[in-house]
A and B are shown apart, each in its own frame.
Chain A
């Protein structure tokens, strides 16, 4: 079974801090994703990566950056945390299969981040 592990379930940081959220997957998936989830807004894609050192912006990349130095690890970075970045952050991974269906995404259980 695919396992996507996020480093923290709960995290509290202060405004202006640099925050790192870590995600590791154990199934050698090419794709990795970072989402945030807010009440009434569903899941919104922040960034995704389809290979090591490759990244693409999602719908809401402002205020965030990402790093993928190894295939199994995808980090989300809040360069200078602000209160409007208080949210649930979800990481996911999936396999690339260009010929057939979209391969399902496998999600971690999320990090609930509070910026004070």
Chain B
């Protein structure tokens, strides 16, 4: 299973764009990259998923370079409510075992 490495914590201010990078050097050909968000006292919530290039939805964008050894979650114009822990996962459709890791704790300041 491909392991992931993320920064433990990040700080930002309201209105800024935040980019969280995840390293996954051993990603396999069939692996997808998935990001989750977790608020205190809640379970994680799916944000976005991608395989290559760029994916965008109403919440975030996901940038994946050609070699796929890393990916970047981009949150545009963050607000205080984006303060949460963000997890990056990699896995294939044939792998039932997702590995969450420790995630990145994002704190957004006023």
A residues neighboring B (CB under 8 Å): 4, 31, 33, 35, 40-45, 48, 50, 56, 58-59, 90-92, 97-102, 104-110
Contact = CB atoms under 8 A, between A and B. Distances in A.
Interface of B: 32, 34, 36, 41-46, 49, 51, 87, 89, 91-103
25 contacts: A42-B87, A42-B102, A43-B87, A43-B100, A44-B100, A45-B97, A45-B100, A50-B96, A90-B43, A90-B44, A91-B43, A98-B93, A101-B49, A101-B51, A102-B34, A102-B49, A102-B89, A102-B98, A105-B46, A105-B98, A106-B46, A107-B42, A109-B41, A109-B43, A110-B41
Given A42-B103, A98-B93, A104-B34, A92 B49 contact: no
Tell me the interface secondary structure of chain B in the complex.
Answer: loop
A90 B47 CA distance: 18
Nearest to B46: A104
Given A97-B93, A101-B49, A108 B43 contact: yes
A101 B43 CA distance: 21
A102 B89 CA distance: 10
